[in-house]
Amino acid sequence: MYQALYGLIKKEFIQVFRDKNMLRLIFLLPIIQLLLFGYVVNFDVKNLDLDVYDFDHSSQSRELIQTTSANNYFKPNDEVIALKNLENNFKNSSSDMAIIIPNDFSEKLMNKDKPTISLITDGSNANSTSIGIGYMLQIMQLYTQNYYNIKPKGEIRFDVLYNPEAESVYFMVPGIVATLLTMITVMLTAMAIVREKEVGTLEQLLVTPIKGWVLLLGKIIPFALLGLLEIIIALTFGVLWFKVPFVGSSVLLFSLSGLYLITPLGIGLFFSNITSTQQQAMFFAWFFSVFAILTSGFFTPITNMPIWMQYITYLNPMRYFMEIVRAIMMKGAGLQDLTFQVVILTIYGISVFGLSALRFSKRIS
Amino acid sequence: MRKVKFIAIKEFYHILRDPKSLVIAIAMPIMMTFLYGYAITLDINNITVAVIDYDKTLESKELVDAVYESTYFSRPDTEPSEHDPEALLRSSQATAILYIRPGFSEALLNNRHFELGMTIDGSDNNLSAAVLNFSKAVLNLYLLDHLPNGIEIPKIEIAVQNLYNPDLTSSHFFVPGLVGIILMMISALLTSITIAREKETGTMEQLLTAPVSTRQILLGKIIPYIMLGLLDGFLVLAVAKILFDIPFVGSQLLLLAFGLIYIAAALALGILISAISKTQQVAMMLALTVTLLPPMMLSGFIFSIKNMPIPLQIFSNIIPAKFFITIIRGITLKGAGVEILAAQGLYLIILMAVLMFIASKKFSTRIA
Amino acid sequence: MSYAVELHKLSRHFGSFKAVDEISLNVSKGEIFGFLGANGAGKTTAIRMLCGLLLPTSGNGKVAGCDIINESEKIKTKIGYMSQKFSLYGELTGLENINFYGTVYGMNKKDIKNRLELLTDKLELDEFLKRQAHSLPIGWRQRLALAVALLHQPKLLFLDEPTGGVDPIFRRKFWSVLYGLAEEGVTIFVTTHYMDEAEYCGRISIMHQGKIIEIGKPFELVEKYKAENLEQMFIDLINCREVNNA
């Protein structure tokens, strides 16, 4: 029994490791993902290109322009540009916003007469535009405070926990761990059985007296191990290269990863059961992965989504695992903080895997 | 030419006969647009913030109301516990906790300096930055409403005019870009496996023994998928119009022209992948790695390229999606014409030509 | 005496299509039984039912003394199976394939090694055990597949077109191995398209559209239909059926 299981696992590993391309993919995938996400994911809105049309030419207007580059919010373009070019610069994306300072700006400012300036934006990137407008409001506030020399009465003392340096890579690495584990296990399991179906080797296996559950375990354990290996590669690389802090217990992370794994493995098996070609299985697995990633809060926080979409995210098992990995790695959360997620994942695991296992039979239909 | 037509027709039958592939080619883009369009929103609102009010005065209650009246913040489902309020942060039930200390109202009314405390879950740096900015804004607004008598701060007014997207709807920015993402995925995925499948099942050999050149085979394979790609492009744009009300200001013909070039580039990539992979499994994995992540990450679809490290900025220039997304945004949202998009268009054409060249080289040496 | 295979009105339908339609037959122990029929006649479906891969729609049967409906897992310990498609792992070497199937049949290392030595001799596998299976010529792949099917010393062997695509010299060798096995008391249940192979069988049955339309010793059937040879008899019989149906 155990011997047969061992034989199956060994066979699966030989198959994976003998395919050079597959091997490369398995090892390079986590590293490519980490490099991409580590360096690219950055929602900071900074260095917005700002065209300046200054009709006032006063020391006040120049000081205002100076203030815009505070905190690297804007990169004011100090060349003199003809106003007719304003829209062309938006159309070829060489500028994000344009500020027009009218010729009565300094005069009104001195007379405490509410001066008005115009801000024209390339609104197509809604997010950076609205943040940019917010910056501009702050800059005007800063400018008037300095100009009239007023200090605000109240302030908030912020205490940022877990990621005070605000490094996005610290946030992305746990997310990548969850994503990798899901994608690798679903895809490889989905392909594994259907591949044997397509090639014809499954039939040969099914006429042997091997027990159905041994066969299933033999198909699942190798991919579970590969999934955990991917986590180790991703984490090691993240900690060594990006210096990502790991606050919580790695033992807890690994045990909960093991718990979570059951669900994507079960889903992969299910896909393998209902499809007859690798191509179909791959598309199912692919679609599931996209759904899982998009609704897990990996890219954008779930609270940003429309309410009905937020309800849909509860169907996504990866959502809970994402919370678990982030909480353990960044916040040092213990099991007691994660009971909700653990309970849900347990229910998911048992039902998904149970259903797929029940559907699997040693007969062909 | 007749041979090319024959192979193209054969390939078309192949797609049509397999209803599952057809479903994939048609239903997938629609579902993807739906998912991406709704799931990726960068508008940050409804951040869950717990408030612990130790002051318990009229003024502090007004501040609490001001916090939740703003569209930025909402109440967590669970109230924070007295002895361990931060448990809410650890379990992700709240993003931040605002502490109103005793003596707040007294200081406010007597025009003395006061301080509020806020503990933020900083793990999502983007979210925590937003909390920081929004809470400052909420406090400033509150202070303006509670100015001591007789004090007046003159303000500089900003007259804002947002061109192209006056309501600043974020879907108007993402959804046109989606055309670039989805076309790349579907085109590359479909072609990468069709050829790998023919190799695996051995039908490619048969085709190669027929008196046609590899270039003709390649062309015959590509034509049906160009048509399918165009169909997908139309579907995504239709969904964009119906569900997300995306404007289309510019020239449809211009977009069609660039769309064709872009699809050809994506198909060349797919063929390249299948030419270098032995099995469908590897082709699929490779296609997913190459066509899912880089176009999403390095094209300016979500993340602005100018904030990336220089090497990646340079690398982004070999991603066709980067140029296509700029072009499609320019055409749909801003009505940009060919004179403005010339540089981007030229880049796209060069990339397409290079990809086509490499693909046909690899295709003939690896397969034949 | 009990039979190696006994079927009683065994049927399998796929929707309204009757792939196998009430077939009944008995195969004695140690017999080489040829299971003939045109493509799509239902041979593979029938064999799959006998091996416990498919449940019959109706009827019943016994294979190696076990009921095919309730004791299919027990049957699997007693039979060897070789399908028409090469169904070993291409990425694995011959030896790895054999070791793998050995563990699947619950054999220990020593048993596998002993058995392998014997089979290597009998099937002349030697030099091909170290190569990845997909790189082997088709004839060698089939021998390897036979070795796997014989690994656990089955008393009953199901061969579904084992010599498709194999050259005549190789086929001759293959059959001499089968004869040797039959002499050792192994029952062989084989489907084939080659009429010269059918003549090697002790008895044959001919299947047409899911039914067994003829059964008997090859030479007796040739005589009965007054045909020149088995091939002619087969073609006449099938043609005659088609005409009657039309």
Asked whether the beta carbons of residue B123 and residue A191 sit closer than 8 angstroms, the reply is: no
Asked whether the beta carbons of residue A294 and residue B286 sit closer than 8 angstroms, the reply is: no
**Interface with A, mutate which of B20, B36, B42, B119 (most A CBs under 10 A):** B42
**Interface with B, mutate which of A15, A20, A21 (most B CBs under 10 A):** A21
For residue B133, give how far its alpha carbon lies from the nearest alpha carbon of chain A (Å): 9
CA-based nearest residue in chain C for residue A215: C104
Which residues, numbered 213 to 272 in chain B, qualify as contacts with chain A under a Cβ-Cβ cut-off of 8 Å? none
Asked whether residue B199 carries a pLDDT value surpassing 80, the answer given is no
Asked whether residue A25 carries a pLDDT value surpassing 90, the answer given is no
CA-based nearest residue in chain A for residue C91: A15
* SS3 labels along chain C: CCCCEEEEEEEEEECCEEEEEEEEEEECCCCEEEEEECCCCCHHHHHHHHCCCCCCCEEEEEECCEECCCCHHHHHHHEEEECCCCCCCCCCEHHHHHHHHHHHCCCCHHHHHHHHHHHHHHHCCHHHHHCEHHHCCHHHHHHHHHHHHHCCCCCEEEEECCCCCCCHHHHHHHHHHHHHHHHCCCEEEEECCCHHHHHHCCEEEEEECCEEEEEECHHHHHHHCCCCCHHHHHHHHHHHHHHHHC
Asked whether the beta carbons of residue B31 and residue A287 sit closer than 8 angstroms, the reply is: yes
Q: Which of C89, C90, C104 sits opposite A208 (nearest CB)?
A: C104
Mean pLDDT of C221-233: 83
Asked whether the beta carbons of residue A43 and residue B31 sit closer than 8 angstroms, the reply is: no
Per-residue confidence (pLDDT) for residue B210, from 0 to 100? 65
Per-residue confidence (pLDDT) for residue B1, from 0 to 100? 66
**pLDDT band per the 50, 70, 90 thresholds, residue A33:** confident
**Interface with A, mutate which of B168, B293, B313 (most A CBs under 10 A):** B168
Chains that touch C (3 or more CB pairs under 8 A): A
**pLDDT band per the 50, 70, 90 thresholds, residue B207:** low
E strands, chain A, in order: 48-54, 74-77, 97-101, 116-122, 154-161
CB contact C85 to A (< 8 Å) = yes
Q: What is the pTM of this model?
A: 0.79
Asked whether residue A346 carries a pLDDT value surpassing 90, the answer given is yes
**Interface with A, mutate which of C104, C109, C141, C158 (most A CBs under 10 A):** C104
Task: Name the residue with higher pLDDT: B9 or A182.
Answer: A182
Torsional class of A47: left (φ above 0), alpha (ψ -120 to 50), beta (otherwise): left
Asked whether the beta carbons of residue B41 and residue A304 sit closer than 8 angstroms, the reply is: yes
Chains that touch A (3 or more CB pairs under 8 A): B, C
In this predicted model, what pLDDT tens digit does every residue of C41-88 receive, in sequence order? 888 889 889 888 888 999 989 888 888 888 888 888 889 998 877 788
In this predicted model, what pLDDT tens digit does every residue of B303-350 receive, in sequence order? 878 778 888 889 888 889 999 998 998 888 888 888 888 888 899 999
Q: What is the mean pLDDT of chain B?
A: 82
For residue B2, give how far its alpha carbon lies from the nearest alpha carbon of chain A (Å): 30
**pLDDT band per the 50, 70, 90 thresholds, residue A267:** very high
Task: Find chain A residues with C-beta within 8 A of B98's C-beta.
Answer: 156
CA-based nearest residue in chain A for residue B45: A304
Task: Name the residue with higher pLDDT: A10 or A125.
Answer: A10
Asked whether the beta carbons of residue B133 and residue A143 sit closer than 8 angstroms, the reply is: no
Rounded to whole angstroms, the Cα distance separating B331 from B250 reads 5
Asked whether the beta carbons of residue A207 and residue C76 sit closer than 8 angstroms, the reply is: yes
Asked whether the beta carbons of residue A199 and residue C91 sit closer than 8 angstroms, the reply is: no
Chains that touch B (3 or more CB pairs under 8 A): A
CA-based nearest residue in chain A for residue B169: A126
Contact C56/C12 with Cβ under 8 angstroms?
A: yes
Mean pLDDT of A274-282: 80
Q: What is the mean pLDDT of chain A?
A: 84
Per-residue confidence (pLDDT) for residue B255, from 0 to 100? 92
Say which range, A241-245, B64-68, B143-147, B159-163, has the weakest mean pLDDT. B143-147
Q: How large is the ipTM?
A: 0.83
